[in-house]
Amino acid sequence: MAIILGIESSCDETSAAISIEGKIYSNFIANQIVHEKFGGVIPELASRAHQQHIIPVVHQALAEANIKKEDLDAIAFTRGPGLLGSLLVGTSFAKAFALSLNIPLIDVNHMQAHILAHFIEDPKPSFPFLCLTVSGGHTQIVLVKDYFQMEVIGETIDDAAGEAFDKTAKLLNLPYPGGPLIDKYAKTGNINAYSFPEPQIPGLDFSFSGLKTSILYFLRDQIKANPNFVEENMSDICASIQHRIVSILLRKLEKAAKENGVKQLAIAGGVSANSYLREQIQALGEKNNWEVFIPKFEYCTDNAAMIAIAGHYKYLNGEFVGQDVGPLARWTI
C-alpha cells in the first residue's frame, strides 16, 4: 500500500496532501494574503510565507488522513516550473523530510500534475485526450497519450490567458486576485456589449498581448469620455472581455481536437475554475458529441492533491530522484 505525501509550493499557495493507493485522503492549502495590497505576487514574500506555512500544512495533512510520518512510503514535491524561491522552500523541505525518514523522493512537473488532477476522482478520461491547461503563467493545449507521455501541440507565444484576466482586473481597479471577480461581475453582464479583436495566430498557438493592449486602449478612451465609465458598466465590460478570452481558448481547442481526431477534452489550471469557461467547454462538447472532463474547483488552483496523485503514478513506475535534485523555475512538459 503506497502512502504518498504531496507538497506544492510553486507560487503563492503552500499545500500538502496525502494519497493512499491513489486516493486522496487530505488536501490542505494555505493562501498568502500578504500579496493583496501589492496587486500581485511578490516572489520574496511568497518564499518567506512558504517557510511559515509548510510545517503546519504538512502536519494538518497527516492528521486529517490519520497517518503518522513513519507510515509514509515516499514524498512527492513540485520541482517546477514556478517561482524559484518558492520552489526552493518546498524542495528543501521534501529532501530533508525524506532523508530523515529514509524514504524515496519523487519530483513532479507542476503542469503535468494539473493534468493528472483528472485522475483523482471519477469520471476519469481515457487516453488519448486533449487538455487545455490555463493559468496565470501558462496556456497550452496538451495531447495526453499516457500518464507521463504528453505533447504540447499549442501554446501561447507571449502572455498567458490567466495574465490577461489578471491585468484586466488591475485596469478595472479590482483587488487581487482579480480573475474570480471578473467572473463574478460577468454573470450579470452582456457578452456582446463591447467587441474585442481575436488574434489571428496560425496553427494551434495563442497570443494575448494584443488583446491586453486593445483592452487598455479601449478603457483609456472610454474613461476619457466618461470618468465613471468603468463603475457604470463593470458587468458588461467583464462579460465582454471574459467572452473574448474564452472564445480564443476554445476555438483553438476545437481546432486541435478535429485535427488530431480526439473526442475527449479536459481543462486544467487555475483559469479552469472560471465558470464561463466551464460552461462553454461543456457546450463545445455537446455540439461535437465529445466527452468533457472538468476537475472540481479545489483541484483547479495550485494544490498538493495533484502532486500526490502524480507522485502515486511515478511511485508505481519506480521513478525516484536523489538528494542532489534542485528546483527548476522553467520545466517543460
Cα Rg of the chain (Å, integer): 20
DSSP string computed for 126-148: -SSEEEEEE-SS-EEEEEE-SSS
- CATH superfamily of domain region 123-295: ATPase, nucleotide binding domain (3.30.420.40)
pLDDT given at position 227: 97
Quote the Cα angle for 136-230-159, to 5°: 20
Residues paired with 293 in a beta bridge: 266
Q: Which three cell numbers stand for residue 257?
A: 481536437
Contact between 38 and 176 under an 8 Å Cβ cutoff? The reply is: yes
pLDDT given at position 33: 67
176 to each of 134, 172, 181, 197, 259, how far by Cα in Å?
Answer: 18, 11, 9, 26, 38
Using 50 as the pLDDT threshold, list the residues of the chain that sit under it.
Answer: none
Cβ neighbours of 231 (radius 10 Å): 10
Exposure string of 28-41, with b = 16+ CB inside 10 Å and e = fewer, is bbbbbeebeeebeb
Q: Fill in the DSSP letter of residue 156.
A: B
DSSP-H helix ranges across 105-208? 110-116, 161-171, 179-186
Contact between 269 and 133 under an 8 Å Cβ cutoff? The reply is: yes
Is 123-295 in the same CATH topology as 3-115+300-316?
A: yes
Cβ neighbours of 4 (radius 10 Å): 28
Domain map of the chain by residue range?
3-115+300-316, 123-295
3-state SS class at 121: coil
Q: What is the pLDDT of residues 122-153, one digit of tens each?
A: 999 999 999 999 988 899 999 999 999 999 99
Where on the phi/psi map is residue 154: left (φ > 0), alpha (ψ -120 to 50), or beta?
beta
pLDDT given at position 35: 62
DSSP-H helix ranges across 188-329? 209-225, 229-260, 275-288, 304-316
- CATH superfamily of domain region 3-115+300-316: ATPase, nucleotide binding domain (3.30.420.40)
Q: Which three cell numbers stand for residue 157?
A: 507565444
Sign of the CA dihedral with 280 first, then 281, 286, and 292 last: negative
Taking the C-alpha atoms of residue 39 and residue 42, their distance in angstroms, rounded to an integer, is 9
pLDDT given at position 32: 66
The identity of residue 171, as a single letter, is L
